[in-house]
Structures are given as structure tokens and as C-alpha cells.
Chain A
Amino acid sequence: MTTTLREATVALSDGAHRPWARTAALLRLYLRLDRVRIAVWALAVYGTVAGSIATLLETYPTQESLQARAALLSNPSAVMMTGPAFGREHYTFGAMVANELSLWVLVAAAIMSVLLVVRHTRAEEEAGRLEVVRALPVGRFAPPTAAFATVAVANVVVGAAVTAGLLSGGADLAVADSAAFGVGTALTGLVFAAVAAVAAQLTEHGRAASGAALAVVGATFLTRGIGDVIDPLGSPLSWTSPFAWAQQTRLYVDLRWWPLVLSAVAAAALGALAVGLAQRRDLGAGLRAPRPGPAGAAPALLGPVGLAWRLLRGLFWGWAAGTTLFAVAFGAMANSLEDFAEELPDLGDLFQIDLTDLTNAFASVVLAFLVVGVACFVVAAVLRLRAEEGQGRVAAVVVTGTSRPRLLAGWLAVVAGGAVVMTVLVGLGAGVGVWSGSGDPAWVGRMAVAALAYLPAVALFGAVAVALAGLAPGAAPWAWLPVGWSAFVLFLGGLLDLPEWTREVSPFEHTPLVPQEALAAGPLVVMGLTAAALVAAGFVGFTRRDLER
């Protein structure tokens, strides 16, 4: 009896006096919770790296083909979607691998880190689990430290997977540069982990925290891209982005390690900021005090549409703001293009772009890229209804006398309306961008109308989500697969030389490249009807199946 008491006292006082007490135990817990997750990320990254190298080896067997690939880097959109163009004069296979893969590997590490950090910090706190943990003899700093350590472990594993993938691809790549690639990936992940840790202190909701941190990922993606378009070897704007720090190591060209010091310092500084902010607030609270809200509901909130809009508006504004900003930035790059056409007459053979009207062609391609953002919004918004169902809130509304079809129709009306508005905004944004470059205001209207051609494709992505949510609710997250694959095909399908049929799966492949191409109504009608059929199936399923809660 006395021993137990003494042990308990010791454990408690340990917690009181040692702010990091029991960090190791928590780290073990978090790693146990995440072991599958981390393994999946690492395997996916390894598979992508090793598989891409195999594909690239096949696609670019000779020095001429490599030089042709190097010429491609004169295209701003290629630089935007890959990385800085080092060693173009004597292009090597390694330089191409670094250019082709680094950005996507880094983005993957960044997204993984953001999701993991928020999962173990704000989301845990919001769910009330952190309170349970903190009530144990656990130091004040132990949970965030363990969370950060978990993410560090994940990044080390992913970094190692990158290096392993590079070395096992059969391309005989330099070991030091491959190691630097892995280290750069891990450090970039940690920078964004620290960004997410700060965001988790500022907001009260896990979703808002990951949204804010992912917005930083998007913004720095953009600054790196635009900076490198300004100067393909990296302009001052590029250096504002953590992505640039990892890419500026000049992998396989002229390896230098020092840019990674920036990553390490930034991660440490942001981590310290997060700890400082955490000290200044109560458990469960954000930095802003909650304000009282309305004592009653506005009439607009009371129907299924009003409720859906209230629940989706944050998601909508986030995506709308992000895609529109991207649109303006992309559009503004169009003006630098006309010069390239004269410099590189053979570019047209490699890239399916009509050089006589480069601005038009570029604007068309950009539009397709941007619509991916709208598709993401649509799928996320449809799946949010599944989350509502899982929380029992769909049931709460249904028992008030709103039929299931009405509820779903209201929800989808908001999603559809949001998608249309966002598509137009994206078109307007791109148009404004092109206008700013070319000086021709007609672009604004032209792009806004052209963007509407993508609505059937967007509807199709959403319809897949609706059908899954209705007929196979457990499998609903698979609705992301078509979006992810189509984006992959769009960004890299041409460069990776994917087989025709794998590309044909993407609805974007069936959407005419407006405004460059003429509008062909046939495929759009087919996609629209397919979407309608899938939505109808989703309605039938949603009406007939058990509500989960």
C-alpha cells in the first residue's frame, strides 16, 4: 500500500516538476497509432520515386532525349510544376530526376507533416482526448513534444524512403546527392510540421488548423513556382519558399548542403514560436476569446439549403480564395511566353502547344490545372455530409421531418452552386492574370466563359462521391482517387509518357482545351449524363440504406 502511494506521489511530482515527463511513453503511443499511416506514406513515396525512375529511364534513353527534356524547362508551366532548371547545358539523368520528382516528393512530405501534427495536437485537444492525457502525470510539454517527435520520425522514414527509392531505381545515381534529397525531404516536412504547430495554436479547430497550414503549403508552392519562372535558377522570390531551400541544393548537378540549414533553422524557430504561443493560452482555447453568437437562428439557416451553406461556407471560401489567387498568378505568367516561342521553335514538337498563339494555349492549359481545385472542393464538400452523418447530425435533421432526399438535394444544391461560382471565379482570376500580362481585357470574359466547359468534368467527380456516399458509404473516401489520378495525369501524364488508356480515365482528357480548342459538346453531354446517373444512384442509395447514426 505504502509503496503504491509513494510511487504515485513520485509519478505525480515528476509530472509537476518535469515539463517533459512521460514524453517517451506518449511518443510510443503516437507511433503505435500512426504506424500504418506512416508506413503507407513511406511506401507510396518509395513506390513513386522508384517507379518514376524506371519510367524515366525508359523514356529518356539518350543524351538527345535528355537535352530535349531540358529544352522543355523553358516553358514556365513546366518550371512551375517541377522545379528550378539546373545544368540544362549538359543535362544529366540525375538533374532530370531532381527536377521532375523533388517538388512532388516535398509536397507529399509537407502535407503528411501538416496532417500528422494537427492530428496529434489541435484535433486531439478538440476531441477532449488531450485533457484525459494531461490529467495523467504527464508533463506540460510532453504531448506537443511527442507529437513533433512522431512527425520527425515519420519524416525520417519518408526521407529514407526517398533515398532508398533513388538508389534502387537502377539509374546509378550519386549516393551523396540521393542522401541530400532524402534529408531535404525530411527537413522540408519538418518546416511545414512547425507551420502546422503554429496554426494549431492560433485556431480552435483541427480542420481550420490544417486548412491554414495547407494554405501556407499552397502559397509557398506558388512563390517558389513564380520565383523560378522569373529566374529558372531561383530568384529572390523563390527563396521565400521552403520548397526552394530543398530544391536549391542543386541535386546531381553541383551539390551544396547549406540551403538545408535554412530549413533546419526555420523549423526550429517556428517550433519555438508554437511552444511560446502554447504557453499563453488555456487548454482547448484558441488565442482569441470566444464571442457570444445569436440567440436564435436567422430564417436563412432553417432550410436544408441554409444549413448546408452554413456548414460548407468555410470550405467554400477557403478553396475559392486559394484557387482564385492561383488563377491570377498563373494567368499573369502568360505574358512572358511570347518570347520563348521565338527562342525555341522546336518546343511545339514536345509539348502539345500551338506556338503561333502561345498565350491562348497556355491559358487553356492553366484553366485545366486550376479546375482541379474546384474538383477538390466538390469532393470534400460531398464527403462532409458523410462526416455529418457519422456525427449523428444527419439523423438529427431527418427526424425533424426533412426527408432524406430533400436533405441531400439541399446539400448538393449548395455544392453545385459553390462549384459553379468557384469555376467562374477561377476563370475570371485567370482572365485578370492574362489581362495584366497581355493588356487585353477581353481575356477576362473569355476565360470566365471558357471555364464553364469544365463543369461536366467537375460534376462527374462530385457525382462519384455522391454515388459512393449513397451506395457504399464505407468506401466514400475513394472518391478522392479519380481526382488524384486525373490531377496526376494532367500534371505529369505527358512528361511520364503514361499509356493512353490510363489517361483516358480522366474526365479532363475528354474536356476540350478551351478557349484554344473549339467547344465540342458531345463529350460534355456524355459526362453530364453520366454524372446525373451517378447522382441519381446516390439518391436511391442514400434514401434506402441505414443511416449510420
Chain B
Amino acid sequence: MTDLAIEARDLVKTFGTTRALDGFTLSVEHGQVAGFLGPNGAGKSTTIRVLLGMLRADSGTARVLGLDPWADAVAIHRRIAYVAGDTNLWPNLTGGEVIDLLTRIHGGARERARAARRAELIERFELDPTKKVRTYSKGNRQKVALVCALASDAELYLLDEPTAGLDPLMEAVFTDEVRRLRDAGRTVLLSSHILAEVEKLCDTVTIIRAGRAVESGTLAQLRHLTRSTVTAAVPAGPGRLAALPGVHDLVADDGRVRFDVDDAHVAEVLRALADAGVANVTITPPSLEELFLRHYGDDVVAAAAGRDDAADAGARGAGRRARRGAGR
């Protein structure tokens, strides 16, 4: 028995000529809220479907709650809850019927507790359970899917872009509910491309690109790999700052300087700023958005100037194909 709730190593999944997953690796510890970031078609939903045993990986290994997702799918399903990326429910059933259908089949939770939880969630998400699914708006349909998952008493929650279509108030309710899950020691894998949401909720983040994990770790670790932005008022001018190791992209303008600094060199830079008679200083850690754009922005801009042009171009081509394929 492993300590990890999810462990995937070198997953490969192809659809025809498309490589939707290309050696993807992911691990999520018990009790963690793990963010799973990537643009449309990077392979997020394919990964989750492999973890659910809907799709069989061509190669690589995966364990979910210590079990094999393909062979032990049913045993896993009894212990998890899932919100699908694009929710398609039975249009001729009411929201309440769908919720019962997708939670009571589960069978895990004790009946009275489940009913109370269901009522609480319907109330919190302001859902009318007597309406037919067909008459719901997109956001309301998403709420049905969320109530289904959150009302389940599961060990692991796989949420594939769960807040798509929700209004900000409902997003806040969702955030709150995920925090409650974390406090209760549940594990959550939250796939999203809403960076603020992931930044708010997640202990760790994995960034997927073209079917491959390009970055993964705690937010602190990821930030450590990058640069913070320093803004300071230095009436005497930047002096020797620009020449210091670890300082990049310095801009000086009318007694103010702004530059990026490698985290390893922050101490020296602060000393130099003090020597220069700094009046005030702000150090901003990189936002997730910056991390994210570092991995995707250069897809557009910097990759052409990349280290290994030919290989990189090949990878990008595969990525584009993968995105198209995984969108099916």
C-alpha cells in the first residue's frame, strides 16, 4: 500500500495518430488538494479518464487509492467522486432525480447523513431540484454535477474544470466546499485553467503540456525555481544593481527601479539596495499566471529560439495534434 492517493508514471495514451498523453507522470498525496493546470486539449481530461478506468493507457502505470484503475475500476469508483469536464445529464430527468441517481447508486454514505448533505448543498448552491435538466442554464447544470460529487462521501474527488459556467458567488461557495473537504482530510485533484482558483485552493500544482508534465511541486517550490519581481524607490539611482548576479531586466526611471531577481540572490540584492539608500521596496513572488505563461507563452514566442529547434518543433507539432485529439 502506497502513501499516494494518485500515482501515475509515464502514461501514454494515443487516439489514432494523436498522442494525447505522452509519458505523463503525476503523484498526489493523501489529504492534498492538487491543482492540475493546462490549456484546453493538453490532456487533462484524458488523464482523469485514465485514472477513472474509462480509458486504458497504452503504456505506463497508474494507481488510484492503491488500486489499478483499469482492473479495479469498480472498487475505486465506490471510493471516489467525479465531476466531468463537460457535464451532460439526462435532459428529461429533474435535477433532484439526477442527484439521487448519481449519489445513491454510490451506496457508500449513510442514508440520513447523505440526505442532510444533499439538502444543504442544494440550499447553498441555490438549486431548484424540481426543474428538468433540459431547462437549466449551463451554470445550473454544472451545479447539479457539483452537488452530485460533493454530496458523495468519497476519499478522492476528481474535479475536471468544476467551476465552468458558475457565477462568482457560486465559485466562492465551491471554494469553501473544497476547503471543507481538505479540512476533512479528503484528497482532491482539481483540473482547471482558472489560475486564481488553483492558487487559492491547491497545495501542489502539476502543469501539463502536450500530454507531458512540465512542472510539478508545491506552489512554493515552483516559485523558488523562478524570479521574484522587485520594485524599489532608490533616489540615488540604480548604481551597481544591474551588474549584480541574478538581476535581470532592470528598468530605472525617475528614482524608481524595477527588476527581476533569482530567488537565490535576494539577500545580496537587498544588501545592495540598502547600500544604495533605498526608500521603500516591494518584492512580489511570481504569480501562478506568470509560472503558467512561462510554460505556455514560450510555446508561441520563445520556442523558436529554443535549444534544440528540430526536436522542439516536433514536440510542439505533437502537442497541437494532441490538443485536437483530446478535445474529442
A residues with a Cβ closer than 8 A to B are 204-205, 290, 292-297, 301-303, 307, 310-311, 391-393, 395-404, 544-547, 549
B100 and A310 contact, CB distance less than 8 A = no
Bound state CA distance, A547 and B97, in angstroms?
24
Interface residues of B in 205-263 (CB under 8 A from A): none
CB of B277 within 8 A of chain A? Answer: no
Residue in A204, A302, A403 whose CB lies within 8 Å of B101: A302
- Given the known A-B contacts A393-B89, A393-B90, are A292 and B100 also in contact in the complex, defined by CB atoms under 8 Å? no
- Shortest C-beta distance, B256 to chain A (Å), equals 39
**Mask: chain B, 39-54; 1 = CB below 8 Å from A; 0 = not:** 0000000000100101
Residue in chain B with minimal CB distance to A407 = B105
A401 and B84 contact, CB distance less than 8 A = no
How many contacts between A and B, using CB within 8 angstroms?
107
B77 and A302 contact, CB distance less than 8 A = no
- Shortest C-beta distance, B69 to chain A (Å), equals 11
B89 and A396 contact, CB distance less than 8 A = yes
B54 and A395 contact, CB distance less than 8 A = yes
Give the residues in chain B near A391, CB-CB below 8 Å.
88
B102 and A296 contact, CB distance less than 8 A = no
Bound state CA distance, A399 and B103, in angstroms?
10
On chain B, the number of residues with a Cβ less than 8 Å from chain A's Cβ atoms is 43
Known contacts A296-B129, A297-B98, A547-B55; 9 additional CB pairs below 8 A are: A294-B130, A302-B104, A303-B105, A311-B90, A391-B88, A398-B73, A399-B52, A399-B80, A401-B78
- Given the known A-B contacts A302-B101, A302-B104, are A403 and B88 also in contact in the complex, defined by CB atoms under 8 Å? no
Bound state CA distance, A310 and B78, in angstroms?
24
Give the residues in chain A near B89, CB-CB below 8 Å.
393, 396
- Given the known A-B contacts A311-B90, A401-B78, A401-B107, are A292 and B131 also in contact in the complex, defined by CB atoms under 8 Å? yes
CB of B274 within 8 A of chain A? Answer: no
- Given the known A-B contacts A293-B131, A310-B93, A396-B89, are A301 and B84 also in contact in the complex, defined by CB atoms under 8 Å? no
Give the residues in chain A near B36, CB-CB below 8 Å.
none
Give the residues in chain A near B289, CB-CB below 8 Å.
none
- Shortest C-beta distance, B161 to chain A (Å), equals 13
Residue in chain B with minimal CB distance to A296 = B96
A396 and B84 contact, CB distance less than 8 A = yes
Give the residues in chain A near B130, CB-CB below 8 Å.
292-295
Q: What are 17 of the A-B contact pairs (CB < 8 Å)?
A: A204-B134, A290-B135, A292-B130, A296-B97, A296-B100, A297-B101, A301-B97, A302-B100, A391-B88, A392-B86, A399-B52, A401-B74, A401-B107, A544-B56, A546-B55, A546-B56, A547-B49
CB of B94 within 8 A of chain A? Answer: yes
CB of B174 within 8 A of chain A? Answer: no
A295 and B101 contact, CB distance less than 8 A = no
Bound state CA distance, A547 and B56, in angstroms?
9
Give the residues in chain B near A402, CB-CB below 8 Å.
74, 77, 105
CB of B132 within 8 A of chain A? Answer: yes
Give the residues in chain A near B100, CB-CB below 8 Å.
296-297, 301-302
Residue in chain A with minimal CB distance to B118 = A296
CB of B24 within 8 A of chain A? Answer: no
Interface residues of B in 98-140 (CB under 8 A from A): 98-108, 128-132, 134-135
- Shortest C-beta distance, A117 to chain B (Å), equals 21
- Shortest C-beta distance, A2 to chain B (Å), equals 34
Most buried by B among A290, A391, A401: A401
B residues with a Cβ closer than 8 A to A are 49, 52, 54-56, 73-74, 77-78, 80-82, 84, 86-94, 96-108, 128-132, 134-135, 152
A297 and B54 contact, CB distance less than 8 A = no
Give the residues in chain A near B134, CB-CB below 8 Å.
204, 290
Give the residues in chain A near B152, CB-CB below 8 Å.
400
Main secondary structure of the interface of A (DSSP, over half): loop
Bound state CA distance, A340 and B272, in angstroms?
115
Residue in chain A with minimal CB distance to B50 = A546
Give the residues in chain A near B99, CB-CB below 8 Å.
296-297
Give the residues in chain A near B49, CB-CB below 8 Å.
395, 547
Give the residues in chain A near B78, CB-CB below 8 Å.
401
Residue in chain A with minimal CB distance to B94 = A293
Give the residues in chain A near B128, CB-CB below 8 Å.
292
B129 and A400 contact, CB distance less than 8 A = no
A401 and B77 contact, CB distance less than 8 A = yes
B102 and A400 contact, CB distance less than 8 A = yes
Give the residues in chain B near A290, CB-CB below 8 Å.
131-132, 134-135
- Given the known A-B contacts A294-B94, A296-B129, are A399 and B77 also in contact in the complex, defined by CB atoms under 8 Å? yes
Most buried by B among A294, A295, A399: A399
Bound state CA distance, A547 and B77, in angstroms?
15
B106 and A400 contact, CB distance less than 8 A = yes
- Shortest C-beta distance, B258 to chain A (Å), equals 37
Bound state CA distance, A296 and B114, in angstroms?
13
Top 4 closest pairs, chain A to chain B, by CB: A297-B100, A293-B94, A292-B130, A295-B96
B54 and A397 contact, CB distance less than 8 A = no
Give the residues in chain B near A294, CB-CB below 8 Å.
94, 96-97, 130
Give the residues in chain B near A395, CB-CB below 8 Å.
49, 52, 54, 84
Give the residues in chain A near B56, CB-CB below 8 Å.
544-546
Residue in B87, B96, B103 whose CB lies within 8 Å of A400: B103
Residue in B54, B96, B101 whose CB lies within 8 Å of A547: B54
- Shortest C-beta distance, A49 to chain B (Å), equals 39
- Shortest C-beta distance, B109 to chain A (Å), equals 12
- Shortest C-beta distance, A298 to chain B (Å), equals 8
- Given the known A-B contacts A392-B84, A401-B77, A403-B74, are A295 and B107 also in contact in the complex, defined by CB atoms under 8 Å? no
Bound state CA distance, A290 and B134, in angstroms?
10
- Given the known A-B contacts A293-B132, A297-B96, A401-B107, are A396 and B102 also in contact in the complex, defined by CB atoms under 8 Å? yes
Bound state CA distance, A295 and B97, in angstroms?
6
Bound state CA distance, A303 and B105, in angstroms?
7
Residue in chain A with minimal CB distance to B55 = A546
Residue in chain A with minimal CB distance to B129 = A295
Residue in chain B with minimal CB distance to A304 = B105
Bound state CA distance, A549 and B55, in angstroms?
9
Give the residues in chain A near B132, CB-CB below 8 Å.
290, 293
- Shortest C-beta distance, B222 to chain A (Å), equals 30
Most buried by B among A295, A403, A549: A295
Bound state CA distance, A117 and B73, in angstroms?
43
Give the residues in chain B near A295, CB-CB below 8 Å.
94, 96, 129-130
A297 and B84 contact, CB distance less than 8 A = no
Bound state CA distance, A295 and B73, in angstroms?
31
Residue in chain A with minimal CB distance to B135 = A290
A393 and B105 contact, CB distance less than 8 A = no
Residue in chain A with minimal CB distance to B80 = A399
Bound state CA distance, A204 and B94, in angstroms?
16
A301 and B129 contact, CB distance less than 8 A = no
- Shortest C-beta distance, A98 to chain B (Å), equals 44
Give the residues in chain A near B90, CB-CB below 8 Å.
311, 393
Residue in chain A with minimal CB distance to B15 = A546
- Shortest C-beta distance, A285 to chain B (Å), equals 9
Bound state CA distance, A301 and B102, in angstroms?
11
- Shortest C-beta distance, A106 to chain B (Å), equals 33
